């Protein structure tokens, strides 16, 4: 099955699979953490034991999911050293600090608070335990913040510079890294998607109870909280998704053009392509269905700003590759003689394009002597695979709006107190359960695949970032990961299913 793949493709596949398994658990952890805090707040304010039971029951499911998330997530941090050794060497000063903070948040702060959450019910006062639950929710979200800042830096590498002496990227301004505009929009968008996942999960389980006429009061209250929380979160996902698209338009123009299959720059404002069949070989689309002006207005928030097409961006890449050749040549001269003032001036002039020059290493070791044909090959690599990006982006958007419509209907039934009367809505709630994960996985594939051929946008090509492993070792470890993570996933589903079937009666309703 994997025999035709190169070592680089296997390394990418291994990281993608392990990250995907991990991300099956992350959104639900994010969503349930805040729902727990809301439910316990109602318990402390009303003193009604059913709200305590709700917090404990959903907290149990949260705990199972959290444990699986930690078990699958810790592997990813080690993979930066095993499968992506040059990446770790090249940007470790920046990326490593963010991973370290994330590790402290996830494996120390979160772990401590989750222990207090489960074992502190009879040892802490109600108010103190509520503070623990809110602290757990905040720690869970702040843990996600740091990993998303790290990922955003890969998309938009601000606050850093290349050091000629160490031949590495080094941190120059932590403030710029933390307040990276890509990080801010990505964080809120991703976390809100997790909230939607938690809300859909609670509604699906509650709907199942209502259809079986079990734990009716418990399920109705859970569903009422989840539908309001989910509606606000779904609106936030859409609004912040638009913001993420706008920031990408500023610094990842090729990704936007590929997502929308824009081959040639159109007159502003560009039309939104609702449906088409892109042909990457011919660089054209068939069967186009467009909405006039909408893409330009959404992506640029103006009527006069163009969205450059992939062909034009490829031509710009050729110019930057040639500039990168000069930076690379100057760097070689500086490695021989650090006092060469001519080389210093040339490198400073062209160093922002050094990463583009490194694209040539895929085809030649003599970067600054590459001919025009080689430069064009390297420039063509800057266009990602358009068809999966085009399709997955539309899957994500369609799923997002479908969930918004679902929450609007659910919120209306919640106001009218008619959940139990609408069996079709309850059945739909169960059917909706996979949709948040489909939307989230589609979105992440768009974000990460759309960045190719870069491990770090404009700085380090992916093919240079990997470790020097042979295919057999990668195939062996990939097989083990798939087997182990599949077992963990099945175990997680079995545990969740067991306690959902058992129901909230395992927790006492007395105060």
Q: Is 285 part of any domain?
A: no
Which of 325, 353, 380 is the C-terminal boundary of a domain?
A: 380
- Do 376 and 412 reside in the same domain of the chain? no
Residues 131-190: pLDDT tens digits?
999 999 999 988 888 989 999 999 999 999 999 988 899 999 999 999 998 888 888 889
Q: Is 275 part of any domain?
A: no
Nearest CA to 77 among 149, 21, 25, 18?
Answer: 18
184 Cβ contact partners less than 8 Å away, ≥ 6 residues apart? none
Q: Are strands 460-461 and 284-291 parallel, antiparallel or unpaired?
A: unpaired
- Do 351 and 432 reside in the same domain of the chain? no
Which of 328, 352, 380 is the C-terminal boundary of a domain?
A: 380
Contact yes or no for 425/365 (Cβ under 8 A)? no
> Residue 385, Cα to own-chain centre: how many angstroms?
19
Report phi then psi at 140, rounded to 5: -60, -45
- Do 494 and 402 reside in the same domain of the chain? yes
- Do 370 and 444 reside in the same domain of the chain? no
275 has which bridge partners? 289
Is the pLDDT at 509 greater than 80, yes or no? no
Rounded mean pLDDT, 471-478? 87
Q: Are strands 272-279 and 160-163 parallel, antiparallel or unpaired?
A: unpaired
Residues 350-371: pLDDT tens digits?
999 999 999 999 999 889 889 9
Instruction: Report the residue count for the chain.
Output: 511
Q: What is the pLDDT of residue 338?
A: 87
Instruction: Give the domain extent around 448.
Output: 7-252+385-505
Count how many Cα atoms sit within 13 Å of the Cα of residue 13 in the half-sphere of its side chain: 19
285 has which bridge partners? 278
478 has which bridge partners? none
* Share in percent of the chain as helix, strand, coil (round to 5): 75, 5, 20
- Do 238 and 343 reside in the same domain of the chain? no
Is the pLDDT at 382 greater than 60, yes or no? yes
Q: Is 205 part of any domain?
A: yes
Which of 348, 380, 412 is the C-terminal boundary of a domain?
A: 380
Name the token pair of 20. 């995907």
Q: Is 18 part of any domain?
A: yes
Q: What is the pLDDT of residue 499?
A: 94
- Do 164 and 229 reside in the same domain of the chain? yes
Is the pLDDT at 484 greater than 70, yes or no? yes
Using 50, 70 and 90 to split pLDDT, how confident is the model at 244? confident
- Do 26 and 136 reside in the same domain of the chain? yes
Q: What is the pLDDT of residue 191?
A: 92
- Do 369 and 419 reside in the same domain of the chain? no
Is the pLDDT at 1 greater than 60, yes or no? no
Q: What is the pLDDT of residue 201?
A: 97
Is the pLDDT at 425 greater than 90, yes or no? yes
Q: What is the pLDDT of residue 510?
A: 64
Q: Which of 72-86, 97-111, 424-438 has the highest mean pLDDT?
A: 424-438
Q: Is 1 part of any domain?
A: no
Residues 123-134: pLDDT tens digits?
999 999 999 999
**Average pLDDT of every residue of the chain:** 90
- Do 63 and 172 reside in the same domain of the chain? yes
Name the token pair of 152. 């955003």
- Do 168 and 230 reside in the same domain of the chain? yes
- Do 347 and 424 reside in the same domain of the chain? no
- Do 44 and 173 reside in the same domain of the chain? yes
Q: Which of 142-146, 434-438, 474-478 has the highest mean pLDDT?
A: 434-438
Rounded distance between C-alpha atoms, residue 286 and residue 278, angstroms: 6
Is the pLDDT at 210 greater than 60, yes or no? yes
For the chain, how many structural domains are there in total?
Answer: 2
Is the pLDDT at 334 greater than 60, yes or no? yes
């Amino acid at each position: 099955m994997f025999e035709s793949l190169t070592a680089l493709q296997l390394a990418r596949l291994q990281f993608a699979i392990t990250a995907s398994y991990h991300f099956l658990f992350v959104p639900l952890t994010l969503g349930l953490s805040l729902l727990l805090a809301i439910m316990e707040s109602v318990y402390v304010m009303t003193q009604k034991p059913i709200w305590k039971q709700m917090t404990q029951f959903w907290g149990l499911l949260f705990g199972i999911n959290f444990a699986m998330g930690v078990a699958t997530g810790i592997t990813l941090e080690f993979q930066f050293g095993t499968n992506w050794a040059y990446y770790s060497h090249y940007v470790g000063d920046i990326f490593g600090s963010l991973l370290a903070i994330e590790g402290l948040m996830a494996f120390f702060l979160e772990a401590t608070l989750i222990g207090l959450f489960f074992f502190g019910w009879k040892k802490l006062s109600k108010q103190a335990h509520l503070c623990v639950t809110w602290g757990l929710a905040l720690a869970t979200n702040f843990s996600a913040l740091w990993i998303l800042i790290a990922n955003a830096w890969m998309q938009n590498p601000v606050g850093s510079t290349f050091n000629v002496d160490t031949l590495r990227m080094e941190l120059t301004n932590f403030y710029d890294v933390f307040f990276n505009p890509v990080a801010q929009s990505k964080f809120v968008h991703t976390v809100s998607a997790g909230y939607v996942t938690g809300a859909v999960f609670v509604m699906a389980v509650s709907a199942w109870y209502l259809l079986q006429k079990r734990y009716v009061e418990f399920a109705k209250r859970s569903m009422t909280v989840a539908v309001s929380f989910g509606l606000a979160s779904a609106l936030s996902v859409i609004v912040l998704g638009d913001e993420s698209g706008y920031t990408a338009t500023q610094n990842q123009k090729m990704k936007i053009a590929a997502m929308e299959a824009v081959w040639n720059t159109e007159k502003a404002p560009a039309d939104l392509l609702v449906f088409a069949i892109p042909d990457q070989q011919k660089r054209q689309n068939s069967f186009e269905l467009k909405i006039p002006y909408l893409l330009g207005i959404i992506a640029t928030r103006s009527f006069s700003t163009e969205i450059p097409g992939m062909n034009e961006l490829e031509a710009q890449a050729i110019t930057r590759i040639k500039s990168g050749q000069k930076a690379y040549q100057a760097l070689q001269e500086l490695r021989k003689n650090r006092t060469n003032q001519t080389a210093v001036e040339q490198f400073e002039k062209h160093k922002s394009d050094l990463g583009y020059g490194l694209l040539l290493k895929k085809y030649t070791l003599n970067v600054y002597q590459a001919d025009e044909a080689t430069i064009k090959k390297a420039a063509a690599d800057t266009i990602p695979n358009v068809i999966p990006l085009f399709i997955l982006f539309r899957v994500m958007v369609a799923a997002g709006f479908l969930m918004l419509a679902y929450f609007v209907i659910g919120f209306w039934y919640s106001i009218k107190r008619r959940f139990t009367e609408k069996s079709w809505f309850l059945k739909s709630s169960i059917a909706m359960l996979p949709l948040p994960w489909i939307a989230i996985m589609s979105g992440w594939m768009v974000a990460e695949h759309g960045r190719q051929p870069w491990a770090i946008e404009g700085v380090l090509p992916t093919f240079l970032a990997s470790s020097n492993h042979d295919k057999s070792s990668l195939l062996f470890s990939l097989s083990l990961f798939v087997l182990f993570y599949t077992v963990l996933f099945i175990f997680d589903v079995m545990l969740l299913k067991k306690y959902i079937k058992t129901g909230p009666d395992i927790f006492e309703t007395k105060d």
